[in-house]
Amino acid sequence: MRPRSLVRGVVPVVLAALLGAVPVGAARAAGGAAHAGRGPQPLERLFDNRGVSDDGHPERADLDGSGGSLSARDLTAAGWAPGRVLTVQGARLTWPRSRPGQPDNVRAAGQTVRVGGRGDALAFLVTGTGGAPTSGAGTVAYGDGSRSTYRLAAPDWRTGPAATKAVTLPHVNTPTGQLTAPARLYVVTVPLRPGRAVTSVRLPRAAGLHVFALSVRVSGQGWSGSWATATSVLATVGPWTDRTLRLVVHTSVGGPRVRLRFDNTFAATPVRIGSATVAVQQAGAGARGAPVALAFRGAAGVEIPAGAQAFSDPLAFRVPADTNLLVSFHLPGTVPTAPVHRMTLQRSYLSGPGDHTADGTATAYPTVLTSWPLLTGVDVSGGPGSVVALGDSITDGDKSTTDANRRWPNVLASRLLGQRAVPRYGVLDQGISGNQVVAERYSGDGVSTDASGVSALHRFDREVLAQTSVRTAIVFEGINDVRWQAPADQVVAGLRELARRGHARGLRMLAATLLPCAGEALCTAAVDAQRVAVNTWLRGNDVFDGVLDFDAVVRDPADPARILPAYDSGDHLHPGDAGLAALADSVDLRLL
């Protein structure tokens, strides 16, 4: 119940609104202002800005101070309906329940928000409206009386990068008409002190920073990542109508329970999964035993909004270590585009019409798939957590044997399983063929045929920090940057930034030296000089917690600019199976 003094402060404003002296939206905003400074309040009680408008009445909202606003119709089309719970980067955030034209966000000005829970990060659903990124410092209060500070930065809603957005909407509403121009919302996370219960959060004082939702991201405590992949692009598929996908993925660690993660990254529209199952692979699309049905918050299926993700409910299903699983899911509607991981080096399968998730045989799956659409993670209960390998095509397994799971992270996972000197971490392969540390090959918006992904800097939060129980990250990128003429100092600056961001979240950060590639078309002597400069810095740096000297492992002693012939796949850029195994075998497990 509201404090009596607070009610007295709001009533005159509301009465004035009813009498026509003050707009209702202003009354609501004044109510929010009245709560500020009176102790922690739920975020919705502090709403003081109207950011979403009905297309027929755009004048009733003003997100940016110039009459611009988000389209309610566009938000609904993206699956972001009022009151919808969205999971992004592992955090559950509720889109405001406000009607179009009513207060739906807080302009960050030092308000104290009531927030509860324990986790690894605070997640903010935000955007900026100053024409440039906006940021400020805030404070977190914990139940034991301690405090920590954080810095929150929000890109501009119209000029910010698509690569890190949660969702891009196609229009901007203005009082004089609707503009066909992108409008973006972002989810930004900041670290929390481990194990401590959050009680409140003081927002920054930052002009133009709008907060729509806020929550504590519950850590993956009790879970370890066993398999994961990175979304490389939003691609044209099928179109698939009433089809079942049966994806083959290879586990690292095992456990007695499982949960799956599906991501609608980069998408503009929701996607519906009608049902899903998991099974151990027997051969091809055939299962060993009957596939077991998954649930999503108790339902057989789930709709995933644009830019969001869905976790299945924990399922009592024993996942073997170092084994292929069959993850099957039915798409009842028409799916013309989907977020995919393009290079899999693994055959998966597509059914004819119908829901074939429960079929144990391969009969219903006549078509081979060579990408992983939508599915991005397999977690198992228990275990010590996971190691993430952030890389390019060498980590992605390019030129390794199809269906053989001979990527170097697979070999590293097998080594961990076969020893007792260090914990048996899960190993998550977040390699994307063609990826770069600094430059974008894919913008992050729209359908593209370039599956090299957004930069490592832009995908780090989603594909490293948000992974389940991540403990250590291995960064093995940069060769594509120098091959495409990026100077060594630019690559080094990017690597420094990745190390800084990982350390800020308590991760152990390792880096690997860049492999030689002389003989490949782009690997000129000038490129090799830049590669050597990056490696020289890596070997002498005090930024990372350890360096894996992969260059020294595979280079030809007689010609250090080239891969040793025994390790060369034949293209002079990618190691073959033997070379990838040599990389994994060289890792000092104690560094993990």
574 within a domain of the structure (yes/no): yes
Which residue is it, tokens 């000092």? 588
Report d(CA 471, CA 422) in Å as an integer: 13
Contact indicator for 416, 456 with CB cutoff of 8 Å? no
Residue type at position 92 = R
pLDDT in the model for residue 36: 45
Residue 531 located in a structural domain: yes
Tokens for 138, please give them. Answer: 């805030």
Q: How far apart are alpha carbons 577 and 567 in whole angstroms?
A: 8
Q: How far is 123 from 467, CA to CA, in rounded Å?
A: 14
Residues of the chain with pLDDT > 70, as a percent, come to 94
Measured CA to CA, the distance from residue 472 to residue 385 in angstroms comes to 9
Of 364, 381, 398, the residue that ends a domain is 381
Residue 16 pLDDT: 33
Mark whether 283 and 322 lie in a shared domain.
yes
Q: Is 227 part of any domain? A: no
Average pLDDT, 10 consecutive residues per value, the chain (592 residues): 31 30 37 58 98 97 98 98 97 98 98 96 97 97 97 97 98 97 98 95 98 92 96 98 98 98 98 98 98 98 98 98 98 98 98 98 98 98 96 98 98 97 97 98 96 98 97 98 98 98 97 98 98 98 98 98 98 98 98 97
Same-domain status, 560 and 539: yes
At residue 583, the pLDDT reads: 98
pLDDT of residue 189: 98
Instruction: Render pLDDT for 490-549 as a digit per residue (tens, 0 to 9).
Output: 999 999 999 999 999 999 999 999 999 999 999 999 999 999 999 999 999 999 999 999
The verdict on pTM exceeding 0.75 is: yes
Number of structural domains found in the chain:
4
Are 57 and 23 in the same domain?
no
Same domain? For 540 and 582 the reply is yes
The answer to whether the beta carbons of residues 325 and 319 sit under 8 Å apart is: yes
What is the rounded distance in angstroms from the CA atom of residue 350 to the CA atom of residue 364?
8
Kindly report, residue by residue over 388-408, the tens digit of the pLDDT.
999 999 999 999 999 999 999
At CA 457, angle to CA 517 and CA 463, rounded to 5?
95
Residues 375 and 496 in one domain: no
Residues 433 and 557 occupy one common structural domain: yes
Domain interval for residue 337:
234-381
Joined together, the tokens standing for residue 514 give: 């860049």
Residue 148 identity: S
Q: Please tell me whether residues 411 and 467 are part of one structural domain.
A: yes
From residue 248, alpha-carbon distances to 137, 263, 287 in Å are 44, 17, 11
> How far from chain centre, in Å, is Cα 377?
11
